[in-house]
Amino acid sequence: MDPKPSTISPAFRAFMTEAPAHAQSWGGMVQGLAAASALDKKTSALAYLAVLAALRMEGGIPFHVMEAKAQGASREEVISAVLIGLPAAGHAVTQVLPAAIAAFDETA
């Protein structure tokens, strides 16, 4: 997937630009973990959204929503992934919900 620059947070763009060797190492690790996963790509993308929501990492939401969408996730699945952490993480997961919906609807 070739991400739109607007879906990559300014912090991650700075990381890629200012520390390219670190970013390349990070990318290799991410690819290795993805290859080792028993989850299909759509499930993995939705699970990642749930983790981002639980950690309130709004900056990563647009990119990872677009990844989930590219893997076939519906709007309802994206919303459910964000909200699945409600029992464990509490109402804080709703902080990223507007960003997730906006990112999904951007190319709807």
Q: What is this structure's pTM?
A: 0.86
CATH number at 5-106: 1.20.1290.10
C-alpha span between 50 and 81 (Å, rounded): 5
pLDDT tens digits for range 74-107 = 999 999 999 999 999 999 999 999 999 999 999 7
How do residues 40-74 score in pLDDT, each as one tens digit?
A: 999 999 999 999 999 999 999 999 999 999 999 99
d(Cα 107, Cα 87) in Å, to the nearest integer?
A: 30
